[in-house]
Amino acid sequence: MMQPRPITPETSHPPFDVRRVRADFPILARRVHGKPLVYLDNAGTTQKPDGVINRIARFYAEDNANPHRALHSLSVRATDTYEAARATVRRFVNARADNEIVFVRGTTEALNLLASSFARPRLGPGDEVLVSAMEHHSNIVPWQLVCTDRGATLRVAPIDARGELRLDAYEGLLGPRTKLVAIAHVSNALGTVNPLRRIIELAHRRRIPVVVDGAQAAGHLAVDVQQLDCDFYAFSGHKLYGPSGIGVLYGKADLLDAMPPYQGGGEMISTVTFEKATYTRIPHKFEAGTPHIAGAVGLAAALDYVSAIGLGTVAAHEAALLACATEGLTKIPGVRIIGTAAEKASILSFVVDGIHAHDVGTVLDHGGVAVRTGHHCAQPTMECFGLAATARASFGVYNTREDVDVLVAGVRNAIDVLS
C-alpha cells in the first residue's frame, strides 16, 4: 500500500474523527431503497460538505458580479474573491506563482486546452505523443485528435498484469520523435499510483515535457508540482469535495506564456480591432468569457476543507479502508480484484465470475451501496485485462469500516441472488 507523506509538526492536524467528518456531508443522511446510503463512487464524483455548499450560496447572496470587468464595489469584491481562490489553489499544489493556475471546467478541458495550444504547434508528421495503457479517455482522445490533425503518432507504454506501468518499456519508447508524455498520477480504473518523479525524470533527460492527469490524485494524495517538476498538472473540483464545472490546469509560467489562446472572447484580450487582437497575460489569456466564479470559490473552500484535515491523514484513512475492503472481497469465492499494484490509491475494481458487473452493481444499489460499474471511461485498460467492465468501489474521507462491511456483505448477497 502507498505510504502517506509523514505529518510533521509544521503540518500537523487534529486527530481524525470520521464521524465528525460525516456530519459535514448532508447527503450521507439520505436513504436509498429504504437503506442508509453507502456512497462508494468517489472516483466518479465526491459529495460536498456544508462548508462548500454554504460558501457557494454566500457568494451568490453577497458578492455576485463579474470579476475584472468593472470598478463598482461588487465587481471589486468578486475579483478579490476569485483571485483569492486562485491563490488557494496555488498553495494547495505548491506552484511558484498564482499566474501558473488556470481555471477550467475540469480535467477534460485542461487536457483539451493543452492538446490545442501546447501540442498542436509542436507536432509535425512523424512526431509522437506517449501515453500509458491505463489512461482515462480524457487523456487519450485529445491527443488522438491532435495527432491525426498534425500527422503525428500516439504511442502507448504498456502495463503489466498487476496494472503497473512497465518502466523499462516506457523508457524504451522515449525517443527523438517524442514531443510529449501524458500520464495519469492515479489510474481511475485500477487505483495504481504511478511513480511520477521517475517518469518525469526519464522524460526530462530527453527534454520531453510531461502532462499529468491528476483527477484521481488531488483529493487523496499530497501534490507538490515543484517537487514533481511536472510541466503541467490538471485536476477537477468535483472529485475533491468541490463543485462540478470547475477545474485547474497548472502549468509552468514560461510554457503557458508561450502558448496561444485556446478560446477567444472577453477578458482574455488586451486590445481588439477588426484587423487583429492582442492578448492579456497568463493566466487570464486562457480564461475567455465570464468564469465560473462560484465554482472557483467553492473549490477553494473544498481545498481548505481537506487541507484542514491533512492530505497525509486522508491518505492513511483511505489506505486502511482499501486494505480492509481488499481483504474482505478476496475472501469471497469467485471475486477477483483487477489492479493489484504495490502502490494504490483508494480505488478497488473487481469482477465476479459468471456475473456481469452491471448486475452486481444493481443488487448493491438496492442495498443502498453506490458503486460504479462499466469500463470507467478506460476501455483500453479494460482490454488489457480481457474485460468489458468491472465493479468499482472507491473511498473518500467520509467512508468508514462499516461501509466496507456493508459492501462485502452486499457482494456476497449479489452472488447469492444472481447465481
Q: How far apart are CA 287 and CA 269, in angstroms?
A: 10
Give the orientation angle of helix 311-330 with respect to helix 401-418, to 10 degrees: 30
Catalytic one of 147, 230, 377, 384? 377
DSSP letter assigned to residue 22: H
Q: What DSSP assignment string belongs to 46-70?
A: ----HHHHHHHHHIIIII-S-TTS-
Q: How far apart are CA 94 and CA 228, in angstroms?
A: 10
- The three cell numbers of residue 303 are 481545498
CB 412 within 8 A of CB 350: no
Q: What DSSP assignment string belongs to 321-339?
A: HHHHHHHHHHTSTTEEEE-
CB 396 within 8 A of CB 359: no
Q: How far apart are CA 391 and CA 382, in angstroms?
A: 12
Q: Which residue has the cell 481488499?
A: 326
Burial 231-260 (b: 16+ CB within 10 A, else e): bbbbbbbbbbbbbbbbbbbbbbeebbeebe
Q: How far apart are CA 3 and CA 344, in angstroms?
A: 10
Helix boundaries (H) for 174-268: 196-204, 225-228, 253-258
Quick one: how far is CA 380 from the chain centroid? 19
At residue 15, the 3 state secondary structure works out as coil
Residue 230 bears catalytic tag: no
Catalytic positions: 377
